[in-house]
Structure 1
């Protein structure tokens, strides 16, 4: 069986239905009518991963239906993947099938691409990789002009780079990002640029005040927004993302950002002067005049302490990958703030998932 995950002709109706459902979820909060940003109907996903299913002397890409997890669904074409992944898939598979040493006990293939054309492929095995594998894999990487990582239990062989380089065009400016294998990146590149542009438009120019950003990742929002503030204080707990963020600040010649590897709970304690942290020895928190806060939390949304923290600031940009947890958090935040703008970004077409953006302003007391 082959898989066709998209109904291209029906995409407008699918998006309308999803928009109606998401809007209804927030009906009790009287939000403004959302601005809806559709995805490209095909070739929008910059990441993809497949099992490699072996059948006699050859193998093919496969996915699995959760209802029948032991039955592979053959994938010869995957039109939701970026054009570069889509084009590479059959070429890579043919070369893997031709070379036993590369396909032997290979059970998963992961693709990471960029809008600017860079490509990283991770080949994951149930066997230890040796020098013969490395020689053949290096030849393959050269032939296909890609980066390759070989993985097996307690083994990682990086042939070239373990990251791709993205170039994003946003509002006439260009930004460069190192995006690491295993690190979080937005899967829908074009809508990611749209989200950043939307956030920039909401906050406007603030040359005399500062931005606080929680869950900043690799600097995806941080770098473009930094030009609109005096300084930025950002936090992130992932080591990989903090490493990438520092590199990306340097790549974009941005010097007005301080990034802290700490949780939102820890930052709350520090801002409230409840605890001191060695990680803050070089940071003068009192020097910040924070007018805006941006949060882009994981699917679980904000914890109680973080909701309390951000409710203390006048203006909030909340980017959410879960409408349900956003709704929960807004039930609290709208006790003190009004929602000035609401946006839906269809990062995940043909699924029930929707990325949301909300801009809140502290309510002026009568």
Structure 2
């Protein structure tokens, strides 16, 4: 993992540059002025990973500049990471002085939440034994955090293999399980602003919602309360299981979740071929008015993009404004951008999240 160039004095200027870049990318589509949602200047990142670098008998948390894995940046703290991560870093470092925990440990990952939960993943170049498990249990109790140990062919869990988060949208608090190793939004404060924006942009509906790439149900939970019923899709088994648990934990019963990729759902809706995973799901019973998409950096493939054209409203969250612009170009003849937003998930980097609402012309 590379280290962002942390300089709070430059934050406002960098955010202005990102806004100008988004405006330029969306200018061909006559998009309105973007709503801009800033980030805390420090302690905003809820997850991070470090390599360990040996100097003599000592090992340190380390990061590297992109393309350079020979010259580490050694760290005692990490100002962009959550306060919880910064509290855990020195205490974990003291813990790996125990050979049962420190021997052939090469990577550490932290996953925390705004709600205060924490999980630490320790990765090894050796098998994990009973001595490791006993030491990890003692360390977990001291740190107040779950621990997952990983080595080739092994995954040992002390505590839970997920953290619990809480997000409040329109006065309702939603609880989320966020599994170890699965994608979660790194910037919790900005993630909350994204949920608020998407909830408001969707508005109350008397028809149905289709969601592609639903992950652990991050957006599914609040958006489902705006629709008559919802069909959500996700391909990752880990994320599907988390989403199902999150729906149950929050008492949301108007969502059907199927483990299909966006491409497979496109084939199903186009009646190209049947899928056993859709057994018992009557696709024709849905009156879809809105499709919500939060695709990977590559954006939507052309066929999925064509699928979204069928819907009156397309609510699109993007982690890559270039592929967002390319997808809008494909849809621009039938849909217009009526709202757009910039979410600064990744301060001090060129990366940004954006959102658009497209409505049929």
Band of TM-score, shorter chain: over 0.9
Whole-angstrom distance in 2 between the partners of 1:187 and 1:308 = 30
Deviations 1:13-36 (A, max 9, x none): 111122112222222222111010
Aligned positions of 1:2-41 closer than 5 A? 5-41=5-41
Whole-angstrom distance in 2 between the partners of 1:329 and 1:272 = 20
Which consecutive unaligned segments of at least 5 residues does structure 2 have? Answer: none
Whole-angstrom distance in 2 between the partners of 1:218 and 1:109 = 23
Q: Is the 8 A contact 1:108 1:124 kept in 2?
A: yes
Deviations 1:268-310 (A, max 9, x none): 2222223211111111111111110000000000001101100
Change (3 A) 1:240 1:67: closer
Whole-angstrom distance in 1 between the partners of 2:65 and 2:17 = 24
Deviates more, 1:267-276 or 1:165-174: 267-276
Aligned positions of 1:329-348 closer than 5 A? 329-348=327-346
Whole-angstrom distance in 1 between the partners of 2:199 and 2:244 = 21
SS at match of 2:71: strand
SS at match of 1:69: coil
Q: Is the 8 A contact 2:62 2:73 kept in 1?
A: yes
SS at match of 1:111: strand
Give the alignment's Cα RMSD to 1 decimal.
Answer: 1.2
Q: Is the 8 A contact 2:4 2:348 kept in 1?
A: no
SS at match of 1:71: coil
Q: Is the 8 A contact 1:128 1:155 kept in 2?
A: yes
Deviation at 1:9, TM superposition (A): 1.7
Residues paired across the two proteins, number: 359
Whole-angstrom distance in 1 between the partners of 2:36 and 2:89 = 32
Q: Is the 8 A contact 2:47 2:186 kept in 1?
A: yes
Whole-angstrom distance in 2 between the partners of 1:272 and 1:179 = 33
SS at match of 2:72: strand
Match of 1:170 in 2: 169
Deviation at 1:57, TM superposition (A): 2.2
Match of 2:114 in 1: 115
Q: Is the 8 A contact 2:29 2:337 kept in 1?
A: no
Match of 1:225 in 2: 223
Deviations 1:112-135 (A, max 9, x none): 001000000001111111111110
Deviates more, 1:271-280 or 1:168-177: 271-280
Deviation at 1:59, TM superposition (A): 1.2
Aligned positions of 1:54-93 closer than 5 A? 54-93=54-93
TM-score, normalized by length of structure 2? 0.97
Aligned positions of 1:108-147 closer than 5 A? 108-147=107-146
Whole-angstrom distance in 2 between the partners of 1:205 and 1:24 = 31
Deviations 1:29-74 (A, max 9, x none): 2211101000111011111000111222221100112343211110
Deviation at 1:155, TM superposition (A): 0.9
Change (3 A) 1:24 1:106: same
Deviates more, 1:59-68 or 1:304-313: 59-68
Aligned positions of 1:257-276 closer than 5 A? 257-276=255-274
Q: Is the 8 A contact 1:122 1:151 kept in 2?
A: yes
Whole-angstrom distance in 1 between the partners of 2:13 and 2:4 = 18
SS at match of 1:12: helix
Deviation at 1:193, TM superposition (A): 1.1
Deviation at 1:219, TM superposition (A): 0.5
Deviation at 1:334, TM superposition (A): 1.2
Q: Is the 8 A contact 1:295 1:319 kept in 2?
A: yes
Whole-angstrom distance in 2 between the partners of 1:150 and 1:73 = 25
Whole-angstrom distance in 1 between the partners of 2:188 and 2:68 = 31
Match of 1:200 in 2: 199
Match of 1:283 in 2: 281
Deviation at 1:265, TM superposition (A): 2.0
Aligned positions of 1:347-366 closer than 5 A? 347-363=345-361
Deviations 1:53-105 (A, max 9, x none): 122222110011234321111011111101111111112112223x1221111
Deviations 1:245-285 (A, max 9, x none): 10000000111000111122221222222321111111111
